[in-house]
Amino acid sequence: MTDRPHEEDPRPEDSLFGEEGMCDRQLSLPFAEGEPPKPLCTVVKADGTVEPFDRARVAAALVRCGGAGGTIDRPTAEGLANAVSLFLQKTLAGGSATVEQVDDAAERVLIHMGHVTEALVFTRDRERRARMRRLREGDLRAVLREIREARSPEAPGGFDWAAVRVRDSQGRVRPWDRGRIADALVRETGLDRAAADLVAAAVEGHIARAGITAPTTSLLRELAGAALVEQGLGEARERQQRLGVPLYDTARMLRGQTPETMRGSPDTTARVLAKALKREYALTEVFSQDTVAAHLFGDIHLHHLEEVDRLHAARLDLSAFLRGGLRVRGAVLAGPPETPDALLSQWLRRHALLEPLFSESLCWEGFNLSAAPYLAGRSDAELEQFARMVVYEFAHHALTRPDAGPAARLCAHWTPGPGAALREAVGPGGNPDGETYDQHTLTAQRAACAVFAVLAEAAAGVPLAEPVAGILLRVGDFDGPSTREMLAPLGALMEAGGMAEVRFDRGADEGARVVAQRVSVNLPRAALVTEDGLAGLLRHLDRALAAAAQAHEEKRRFVEELLVAGERGPLGLLAGDGTPPLRAEDLVFEIALEGLRECLDLLPGGGAGDRDRRAAEILARADHTCRDQARRRNMRLSLVEGAGGDVSQRFAALDAAAHPAALAALQQRRPDMEAPEYSPGVSLGGGSRPAGMPDPETALHAFLEDACLRVETPPGAAVPLLAALARDTHCLAVRP
């Protein structure tokens, strides 16, 4: 072939086939002289069907033989395809060609034209297609026979299999046994025995050709994966692949050269390596390719992938061990507590046992009501001592645990809810004390205030990261004559900027709540990709919420497999022990919204007066879609506000890479945005509003099941602000 691109002759096709190539001096194939050949019109496929001969398909196959380096470009391939066509016309005298004859002609033309390497690639691809065809037809004997002949010791260059020793992952050395490879393939991938034998024989051929006498099981697994791909068994390859961390990354982790292991211990590196494996397993096995793609591209965010076998968060109470003592997998570790000290001891042990099952937080609801029967009649000094022990024992536990665990949250209930008010209280020894929890309300309030006072004292000096204090308030709680005075320690804690969260009762279920997973949705992404304003944004939002719901459905299937083992499984501590066993249908799956403020900033069209209306419309659509997905998938989906932080930073970084101009323009309009980062959740960042004007952010809480308003509380203003938010808004929670 010349370096000059081939130019098509404008003459009719008959003349083209009759003339082209015969004058090409590089084409030295042995053609007989005589009349111009008749054109090749049809090809007979392996299954007997007849289809028109297509030179373009031959040219495309030849281009692929050139590989990524492009050794055969398109013009060259077209010239070679013309030569293949001419060769078949001369040899077949105008008859139909079979697929095998076309392949033979292509190989011969490539070799004669000097493309030897490409001819070898074409031959290997031809053999691969033949093996796949035989495999689909169930004819494995011929393929197995060829491989056995290739590795036969009697053949020239035979391989001594008696000298081969295989080292497994446990350090054991075994003699070569191809059957073990086939057994593993059947067990791990679900292949039938004949197909597994074929793949195992291919692995054996690789070992023989390479002359390897001491293979490891890791090498055999990689060779088996390559053989599965060669045989067209990609799905089986995905089930067979091995999870692991590259040797280079492992070496850096063990030497403390990564951010996760810097200044760590060998125990730290063990945990980091384990989390890397779990993350890889989650992205490979737990979630589908569509879900993983949505996560990697930034439409959604899958939380805590490195802890995929944990649940996200829980709200629990102390009733389990107050009645029956501390039990673990059926074994009784301690009887029901008799004193406040015993109650605290069992509480901490129960918390430590449940911590490894959760990733985000572990909240103890109504702890003050549960402890009230044990504290009845105690002086203020004794209550303060108990509160100090609670706070600092949890703080000490958080500082001394080996790894970052779920945040400990202590949520007091200022008054018992309708379900608990008339229930008989459990007292020392697990016995009913003859009074209802409603009758213990004052003691419970004093205990809660004592905890808030201790935390406020710490916040004024060295703030404690844990425990995070919280309180559930009802609208009627502010009507009491002394309520505002008693809540003064809570106000002091908020004014000091301590870790505190005030939730308002809006009629939600007060019972235990276990969240299996949280998936965040990138709202600004919907604004960036929309082409027709708000309507397009809402359509993209529907798709993102559907992707989040699909991720939850996949996680639910995985958790069901963990729960089915009961007490013997990894979530066995939730399988009973004095409480009803956790069921998959009890789990809550949260969909968190992130970056509403930036979503509105990036959304084209609309004026400043439309901002609040658009925000409400987006939240209403999200609420409707979330309910619809929950109904379709028969699962408990909860629409909540995102917490920002690393998730919003990740969303912003991905969007800045994909849409740099839009994000740069947003940063210019927003002096407070020094780097790409989205506002947390549904925060609008609008600053303070005139008195009496409703805050649009609290109005959005009406569409959510969990959200928190961040406020600044001047001295003496915290409690009046809480009363106004509870009475006049839809606010779900507030924190300093």
**DSSP bridge partners of 362:** 314, 408
According to the model, what pLDDT value does residue 120 have?
Answer: 66
Closest by alpha carbon to 518, among 408, 625, 637, 616? Answer: 637
Across 45-59, 185-199, 234-248, least confident range: 234-248
> In which band, very low, low, confident or very high, does the pLDDT at 7 lie, cut at 50, 70 and 90?
very low
Structure letter (DSSP) for residue 640: E
Would you say residue 299 has pLDDT above 60?
yes
| Amino acid occupying residue 290 | D
What's the confidence (pLDDT) of residue 263? 79
- The pLDDT confidence band at residue 9, using thresholds 50, 70 and 90, is very low
Between CA 82 and CA 99 the distance in angstroms is 16
pLDDT, position 28 = 43
Backbone angles phi, psi at 502, to 5 degrees: -105, 120
Residue, of 458 and 124, whose pLDDT is higher: 458
Neighbours of 291 (CB within 10 A): 23
pLDDT at 700 over 60: yes
Q: At what angle do helices 367-375 and 380-400 cross, to 10 degrees?
A: 130
Strands 513-522, 311-316: pairing kind: antiparallel
Model confidence at 638, pLDDT cuts 50, 70, 90, reads very high
The backbone torsions φ and ψ at residue 239, rounded to the nearest 5 degrees and listed phi first, read: -75, -25
Where do the H-state alpha helices sit in 51-177?
55-65, 74-92, 99-112, 116-137, 141-151
Q: Which of 27-31, 87-91, 463-467 has the lowest mean pLDDT?
A: 27-31
* Mean pLDDT, range 566-591, rounded to an integer: 84
Q: Please check whether residue 327 is in contact with residue 342, taking contact to mean a CB–CB distance below 8 angstroms.
A: no
User: Which has the closest alpha carbon to 678: 666, 668, 686?
Assistant: 666
Q: Report the predicted TM-score, pTM, of the whole model to 2 decimal places.
A: 0.72
**pLDDT-derived band at 195, boundaries 50, 70, 90:** confident
pLDDT tops 70 at residue 15? no
pLDDT value at 10 more than 60 = no
Pairwise CA distance, residues 414 & 149, whole Å: 83
Which tens digit of pLDDT belongs to each residue from 200-244? 888 888 888 888 888 877 788 888 888 888 777 777 777 766 666
**CB within 8 A of 343, min separation 6: which ones?**
318, 322, 337, 371, 374
pLDDT digits (tens, 9 = 90+) for 315-328: 999 988 888 888 88
**What is the distance between the alpha carbons of residues 24 and 302, in angstroms, rounded to a whole number?**
61
pLDDT of residue 515: 97
Are 10 and 94 a contacting pair, CB within 8 Å?
A: no
pLDDT band at 426 (very low <50, low <70, confident <90, very high): very high
pLDDT digits (tens, 9 = 90+) for 528-572: 999 888 999 999 999 999 999 999 999 999 999 999 888 888 888
pLDDT band of residue 591 (cuts 50, 70, 90) is: very high
Q: Which H helix or E strand runs over 407?
A: strand 407-413
Given a cut of 60, whether residue 261 has pLDDT beyond it is yes
pLDDT score for 577: 61
| φ, ψ for residue 512, nearest 5 deg | -60, 145
- Please name the residue that has the structure tokens 């031809």: 126
Region label for 211, one of left (φ > 0), alpha (ψ between -120 and 50) or beta (otherwise): left
* Residue 504 parent element (H or E): strand 500-504
Structure-token pair, residue 515: 């969240």
Amino acid at 134: R
Mean pLDDT of the chain: 83
DSSP run (H or E) holding 343: helix 340-354
Q: What angle do CA 580, 705, 290 make, to 5 degrees?
A: 85
pLDDT at 597 over 90: yes
Supply the pLDDT for residue 5. 40
Annotate 269-303 with DSSP letters as a single string. Answer: HHHHHHHHHHHHHIIIIIS-HHHHHHHHHTSEEET
The confidence band for 314, taking pLDDT boundaries of 50, 70 and 90, is very high
C-beta separation of 371 from 343 below 8 A: yes
Using CA atoms, how far apart are residues 511 and 52, in angstroms rounded to an integer? 71
What pLDDT, on a 0 to 100 scale, did the predictor assign at position 137?
67
Residue 83 has pLDDT above 50, yes or no: yes
Give the lowest-confidence range in 161-165, 520-524, 661-665, 677-681: 161-165
Residue 147 has pLDDT above 80, yes or no: no
Taking residues 488-513, what's their average pLDDT? 86
Given a contact cutoff of 8 angstroms between Cβ atoms, the answer to whether 61 and 102 are in contact is no
pLDDT of residue 157: 46
* pLDDT at residue 692 greater than cutoff 80: no
At residue 650, the 3 state secondary structure works out as helix
In 138-259 the beta strands, taken as DSSP E runs, fall at: 165-167, 173-175
* 427 in Cβ contact with 433 (< 8 Å): yes
**Res 319: pLDDT:** 85
Q: Is the pLDDT of residue 310 over 50?
A: yes
Query: Which range, of 352-361, 402-411, 644-653, averages the lowest pLDDT?
Result: 402-411
Question: What is the predicted pLDDT for the residue at 13?
Answer: 36
Looking at 62-76, 474-488, 694-708, which range is the least confident one? 62-76
Interacting residues of 624 by C-beta distance below 8 A, sequence separation 6+: none
